[in-house]
Amino acid sequence: MGRFGRHTNTSKENLANGQQGGSIGRPFRLSAWLRLHGVDLITMALMGALGLGIYFADPAPTRNFPIYFQDGEVVYPQFAYPLRKEIVPIWAAALIAFFVPFFFISLFQVRRRSLDDWLTTIMGLLKSLITAAVFQVFIKWLIGGLRPHFYAVCQPNIQPGSAPSGVGFANLMYDRSVCTGDRKEINDSLESMPSGHSTAAWAGLLYLSLYFNAQLKVMSAHNPAYWKMIFFFAPLLGATLISGALTIDEFHNWYDVLAGAIIGICTALVAFRQTFASIFDFRYNHMLLPRATSLFHRQPFFPSASRGPYFTYQPMQELAFCDLPFTREGGWGFGGGEQFVGAPGDATVLIANMGGPGGIAGGGLNGGMNGAGNGLGRGGYGPGANTHMPGNQNVAPTQPRGDNMV
């Protein structure tokens, strides 16, 4: 099934472009998938081990901080909050960031029907989470900062109003040697920036939000059901609540939360784009990018004769279940769907502009699809020089099936 699938399903469900349901190409083999992605799996394991090692290491011993002015006034009262219990523990944030996306990605396999699709999508999620985690623990370890409850945890052995005995200007700066509190809590309170909760929440839940947008076609060429918009924003709300809770229980400063969110957002965007053909182009953002070779799989792997080592961003002649999104709105369940239309600035227009006069004069809805001048017209697209498949007519059936409203 999926990219490793074989056309054995005789279901008569209409797929996009008038294809029949089923799968194409070779049968799925876990051994082939492991060889193709083995280097990534090893790299992820090494990155995870590196992150754990840094997480349990003591903070870099280069931090100085003020406590009192000469008159006994606290220099930074924003670090004098009491130590409270976390509203959302870090382990809970990590579990939410992984298992909530894991659940929905698995649930959507009811229609995706591809073990390859499931494994590769989960790997993309793990790439986002692991990269974000290692990134943030490195910053915590080498840069860090004071948590809002630092003074309460440090319990400095300095009397208010006494002559400063530290270092720096007016001897106002001290290091952790003046702290008398619990060593583990002191280490933790010196590593405030960036927030690990916020990093994990945005790395995992934004990835899920992008997955919902791709599978449900929340932003596309048709007006989708309102519940799909709710699905898109729900993970973003969850990430915001997890992040915001850290400023309520005074475990993080607002800028710690913001820095963690930026890290998580960046890794989620890159991991999703490495996994799927697009982030926001609704025609392709549900389709996996191919991987043909790796260190452990030198022989190029092509799922079928018409598919090469890279994604062509052209309508496909043959489709498997995993080539279609979860939704069947917008014609995805019959007659080609939105894959055969385009929006300004997307891949269709760019290809048309590169196609020269022939592409512009192709007479199609989007001005052409290839350099040979065969436009993507109302009746279909022709077999141009830059197209690896024969011409194919896109004729929608007059009577759509009953499941295309989901």
Most confident range (mean pLDDT) of 17-26, 74-83, 203-212, 277-286 is 203-212
Residue 325 within any structural domain of the chain = no
pLDDT-derived band of residue 162, with 50, 70 and 90 as boundaries?
Answer: low
C-alpha dihedral (180, 184, 187, 193), degrees to nearest 10: -130
* Amino acid identity for residue 189 in this structure: S
Domain that holds residue 121: 36-57+88-147+190-275
What tens digit of pLDDT does each residue of 36-49 get?
888 999 999 999 99
Counting the structural domains of the chain, the total is 1
Most confident range (mean pLDDT) of 252-266, 311-325, 381-395 is 252-266
* Residue ranges in 287-387 assigned as alpha helix (H): 347-354, 356-360
Residues 6+ apart with CB under 8 A from 189: 146, 147, 149, 150, 153, 154
Residue 115 within any structural domain of the chain = yes
Residue 390 within any structural domain of the chain = no
* Amino acid identity for residue 128 in this structure: S
pTM of the model: 0.77
CA angle 128, 134, 140 (to 5 degrees): 130
Residue 4 within any structural domain of the chain = no
What tens digit of pLDDT does each residue of 323-370 get?
788 888 777 766 556 766 655 455 555 555 554 444 433 333 343 333
Q: Is 223 helix (H, G, I), strand (E, B) or coil?
A: coil
Residue 74 within any structural domain of the chain = no
Q: What is the helix (H) or strand (E) element at residue 37, kind and residue range?
A: helix 30-55
| Main-chain phi, psi angles of 289, to 5 degrees | -75, 145
| Main-chain phi, psi angles of 14, to 5 degrees | -75, 130
Pair type for strands 380-381 and 173-174: unpaired
Residue 238 within any structural domain of the chain = yes
Torsion sign, CA atoms 358, 364, 367, 369: negative
pLDDT of residue 368: 39
Residue 66 within any structural domain of the chain = no
Residue 226 within any structural domain of the chain = yes
Burial letters 248-263, b for 16+ CB under 10 A, else e: ebbbbbeebbbbbbeb
pLDDT of residue 3: 47
pLDDT of residue 378: 35
Interatomic CA distance for residues 381 and 281, integer angstroms: 20
What tens digit of pLDDT does each residue of 3-33 get?
443 333 434 444 444 444 444 556 677 877 7
